[in-house]
Structure 1
Amino acid sequence: MTLVRKRKEKQALRITVPPVSSSWHGFLSPSPISSSSSNSPTITNLADFEKLAVLGHGNGGTVYKVFHKPTGAIYALKVLRFGEDIERVQQQSLNEMGILRRLDSDCVVMCHGVFENGFADIDGGGDLCFVMEYMEGGSLYDLLQRHHRLSEEAISGIARSVLEGLHYLHSMHIVHRDIKPSNLLINRKGKMKIADFGISRLVAGSDKQQCDSYMGTYAYMSPERIDPERWDGVYSDGFAGDVWSLGVVIMECFTGRFPLINPGEKPDWITLMYAICFEETWEMPETASAELQNFVRRCLVRDWRSRGTVEELLSHPFSTKFQHVAPQNLLCYSSCV
């Protein structure tokens, strides 16, 4: 299957140079910080955890599966190490803590505590540890690695779950800014939740102007974030950018590969920027249902002011047509090897 697209060969990129980050002026007090959830257990000591396995690496840290000896519960422990890039990781950590403390929803992966210093027996210790809800089914990225393509029933469930999460986050004035398969996790009931708020932003008042930042994963970024001059991104509150990212994820689930470039094409920066900012059209394969094709088109409107909203897409026929069977369908994928 191939995607239909047309190019405008004579258009030139007009990408603004990313701004230089501001200096760092402080850090944390050495005390645990619990989430706002009333259901969160009291976790006061990292020594109460036993390391069981490595779940993944990335963004300056490692995620472990851990056993909480006092309760017998399983958690995910995200350990961030500052290393040489101390300024960036500290800023990202503080930002993530500020976001996580506001969240209390079944649509997002919950944080049960944040600790300074680290887990002494893990590679010499880390600098900051997040005790997170353990998602037994792994990530959507893991599912796509195993199965490549998913059924429309499963994709519909993914779309609805992410939209419900975005609806909650946006109601809290939070833009995620990094919706992608590896940040969408699945629990043992087949429920998908949004994870990783390291580059999320609270948009209120003057903070709205922060959402044209270049932090994030380029492949899933919206045109207004990559080229704010062309697409008036400085006036965007950022919410529409999360919808664009969801559209790319949904296409990827159906086509079995990253959909905005041709098979075999190298996903370097220039190729991705051109595909996102200048390609004429992206069309789903003809085997996709009319509802799915329309859903993707509403997500991938290049002008963010005309793009589908979270509220619109929650009531879209593709989001609702498999509403009662999609969670079970996704659970089947996540439990199959």
Structure 2
Amino acid sequence: MSAMCQSVRDCEWVKGKMVGSGSFGSVHLAMNKSTGGLFVVKSARSGTGREALNNEAKILKALKPSPYIVQCLGTKEDRGGNLNVFMEYMAGGSLADVSHKFGGSLHEEVVRVYTREILQGLKHLHQHGIVHCDLKCKNVLLGSSGNIKLADFGCAKRVKDLNNDRGGLANSLLCVGGTPLWMAPEVLRNEMLGFGADIWSLGCTVIEMATGRPPWGVVEGSNPMASVLRIAHGDVVPHFPSHISKEGLDFLSMCLERNADKRCSAEELLSHPFVSRNKQYASSPTCVLEIHNFEDTYESEGHEGTSLGSSGNWITVRSG
């Protein structure tokens, strides 16, 4: 990947099929014509989409490299006026895609592993003063070896930038993006933005992984206004999955604490038994292939794409 990082900005490349889209623009698979290496290119022409892509590129370029953060390989404006941001290719797609392919939800053993790696990514961001602001399964990517990386930093904010401009803080908060059903109460009330906002979103993401549904039981795309008002001004938290372990329930209660000042940090949560107690999780934080005694709860027939088959203490990942 390092050789590609040095050459992708100025290389000749060919655009492949669209692999995603959003309010910012489109995402296409791309190939470096001189090396055959794969990457993805995010493109936007103008408006908020271009601003979001610019923000994402700035945030990622300023960060020290991390195995838990997707890598930006460069930016370039094409002749048509599109801003192109070249990004590392993650073959497994988003956790939302993975969940859909494996029956709609993920086994708790896998949720524990993924949650630990998300926490590692959040710890890295927070140590650099950055709040992701839009953590959810769609914005967490899976590599072909099972490694997890945080992605989609178009809404990310530097806390020091907000604090250094106290007069503009309210306006800055009004510009905070994100997905309402995953956002913390204090953010929806336009009161504050801190690292705890990502921890609340992490709790919502764990629920999403465990159930295959958005938090608060609202289907994404429907009118969420009633739930948004409940999140912002009520005294409730999302419904915890009934099938999750006691450790999982305790972990969720620490993430989904309505008082932002009482939420644990990412570093503190890395010591929680939900992600650290069993050796099978603590010894393999970067690769789902190292999970021992995995129980395949889904039949391989009828599921397209990647399939899992056990071999001893390993999970073999094959492309179907």
- With the length of structure 2 as denominator, give the TM-score of the two structures: 0.80
SS at match of 2:282: coil
Secondary structure of the residue that 2:144 maps to in structure 1? coil
Secondary structure of 2:124's counterpart equals helix
Q: CA–CA distance in 1 between the matches of 2:220 and 2:132?
A: 28
The match for 2:38 among 69, 74, 80 is 74
For structure 1, which segment, 126-135 or 277-286, has the greater mean C-alpha deviation from structure 2 after superposition?
A: 277-286
Are 1:244 and 2:200 counterparts? yes
Superposed CA deviations along residues 144-180 of structure 1, whole A, max 9, x for unmatched, are 2222111111101111111100100111111110101
1:267 Cα deviation from its structure 2 partner: 4.1
Q: What are the superposed Cα offsets for residues 34-67 of structure 1, whole Å, 9 maximum, x if unpaired?
A: xxx8983223436x11122211111231111111
Match in the other structure for 1:274: 229
Q: Which has the higher contact order (CA 8 A, sep 6+)?
A: 1
Aligned length: 283
Check the 8 A contact 1:183/1:195 in 2, yes or no.
yes
User: How many Å apart are 1:266 and its aligned residue?
Assistant: 8.2
The separation in 1 between residues aligned to 2:7 and 2:60, in whole angstroms, is 16
Contact 1:261 1:272 in 2 (8 A): no
Where in structure 2 are the equivalents of 1:34-113 lying within 5 Å? 40-45=5-10, 48-82=12-46, 86=47, 88-103=48-63, 104-113=65-74
Q: Does the 8 Å contact 2:95/2:140 carry over to 1? A: yes
CA pair 294-225 structure 1, distance change in 2 beyond 3 A:
same
Q: TM-score, normalised by structure 1?
A: 0.76
Measured at CA, do residues 281 and 70 of structure 1 come closer, stay the same or move farther in structure 2, by a change above 3 Å? closer
C-alpha displacement of 1:279: 4.9
Equivalent pair of 2:216/2:239 in contact (CA under 8 Å): no
After the TM superposition, which residues 282-293 of structure 1 pair with which residues of structure 2 at under 5 Å, given as runs?
Answer: 282-293=238-249
Q: Which amino acid aligns with 2:84?
A: C
The 1:94–1:155 alpha-carbon spacing in structure 2 relative to 1, beyond 3 Å, is same
Q: Which residue of 2 aligns with 1:5?
A: none
Q: State how far apart, in whole Å, the 2-side matches of 1:266 and 1:41 are.
A: 40
Match of 1:156 in 2: 112
> Using a 3 Å threshold, how does the CA distance of structure 1 residues 224 and 117 change in structure 2: closer, same or farther?
same
Query: What is the distance in 2 between the residues matched to 1:317 and 1:212?
Result: 37
Alignment of 1:163-178 (within 5 A): 163-178=119-134
Letter in 2 for 1:113: G
The one-letter code matched in structure 2 to 1:50 is: V
Kept in 2, the 8 Å contact 1:260–1:276? The answer is no
Contact 2:184 2:200 in 1 (8 A): yes
How big is the shift at 1:207? Answer: 5.0
What is the distance in 2 between the residues matched to 1:242 and 1:55?
A: 26
Q: Which is further off, 292-301 or 144-153?
A: 144-153
> Residue 275 of structure 1: CA displacement?
3.5
Q: Alpha-carbon deviation of 1:130? A: 0.8
Q: What residue in structure 2 maps to residue 335 of structure 1?
A: 306
Q: 2:317 corresponds to which residue?
A: none
How far apart in 2 are the matches of 1:253 and 1:283?
Answer: 14
Change (3 A) 1:90 1:57: closer
Preserved contact between residue 155 and residue 177 of structure 2 (Cα < 8 Å) = yes
Counterpart contact for 1:213–1:225, Cα < 8 Å: no
Report the Cα distance in structure 2 between the residues aligned to 1:49 and 1:249, rounded to whole angstroms. 35
Q: Distance in 2 between matches of 1:65 and 1:266?
A: 26
One-letter amino acid matched to 2:57 = M
CA contact (8 A) 2:235 2:258 kept: no
Q: Partner letter of residue 306 of structure 2? A: S
Q: Is the contact made by 2:20 and 2:28 (CA closer than 8 Å) also made in structure 1?
A: yes
Percent identity, aligned pairs only?
A: 33
Equivalent residue, structure 2, for 1:26: none
**Contact preservation (8 Å) 2:30, 2:40:** yes
Is the CA contact (8 Å cut-off) linking 1:260 and 1:275 kept in structure 2?
Answer: no
Mapped partners of 2:118, 2:177: distance in 1: 21
SS of the equivalent of 1:158 reads helix
Unaligned runs of 5+ in 1: 1-36, 119-124
Q: Which amino acid aligns with 2:52?
A: Q
Alignment of structure 1 residues 1-337 onto 2, 5 Å: 40-45=5-10, 48-82=12-46, 86=47, 88-103=48-63, 104-117=65-78, 125=80, 127-146=82-101, 147-204=103-160, 205-206=163-164, 209=169, 210-211=172-173, 213-228=175-190, 233-234=191-192, 236=193, 238-261=194-217, 267-277=222-232, 278-320=234-276, 321=278, 322-324=281-283, 327-328=288-289, 335-336=306-307
Query: Matched residue of 2:16: which SS?
Result: strand
